[in-house]
Amino acid sequence: MHTSHHFQGIALVTGGNRGLGLETCRQLAAKNYLVLMGSRDPAKGRAAADTLYATPGLGGKITPCVLDVTDEVSIQALYQYVNNEYGCLDILINNAGIHYDTWETASDADIEGTVQEALDTNLLGAWRMIRAFMPLIRQSAHGRIVNVSSGSGSITAMGAGPPAYQVSKAALNALTRTLAGELEGSGILVNAVCPGWVATDMGGAGGGPVSAGAASIVWAATLPDNGPHGGFYRHGKPIPW
Signed CA dihedral, 75, 128, 196, 58: sign only: negative
Mean pLDDT score across all residues of the chain:
93
| Number of separate domains in the chain | 1
Could you please report the per-residue DSSP string of 154-193?
Answer: -TTT--SS-HHHHHHHHHHHHHHHHHHHHTTTSS-EEEEE
Structural domain includes residue 1: no
pLDDT of amino acid 85: 97
Over residues 154-159, the mean pLDDT reads 91
Told to judge if 169 belongs to the known catalytic residues of this protein, a careful annotator would answer yes
pLDDT of amino acid 6: 83
Structural domain includes residue 4: no
pLDDT of amino acid 1: 41
Does residue 60 carry a pLDDT above 80?
Answer: no
Q: Which range marks the domain in which residue 119 is found?
A: 9-238
Q: Name the H helices within 86-162.
A: 116-118, 124-137
Greater confidence (204 vs 235) lies with: 235
Does residue 216 carry a pLDDT above 80?
Answer: yes
pLDDT of amino acid 3: 46
- 232-234 vs 237-238, strand pairing mode: antiparallel
Q: How far apart are CA 189 and CA 207, in angstroms?
A: 29
Catalytic residue among 81, 169, 233, 237: 169
Does residue 187 carry a pLDDT above 90?
Answer: yes
Over residues 116-120, the mean pLDDT reads 98
Structural domain includes residue 67: yes
Structural domain includes residue 3: no
Told to judge if 86 belongs to the known catalytic residues of this protein, a careful annotator would answer no
pLDDT of amino acid 197: 76
Whichever domain contains 19, its CATH number is: 3.40.50.720
Does residue 150 carry a pLDDT above 60?
Answer: yes
Catalytic residue among 33, 86, 100, 165: 165
| Lowest-pLDDT choice from 27-31, 60-64, 107-111, 191-195 | 60-64
Please list, in sequence order, all residues whose beta carbon lies within 8 angstroms of the beta carbon of residue 167, skipping any fewer than 6 positions away.
Answer: 115, 118, 119
pLDDT of amino acid 47: 96
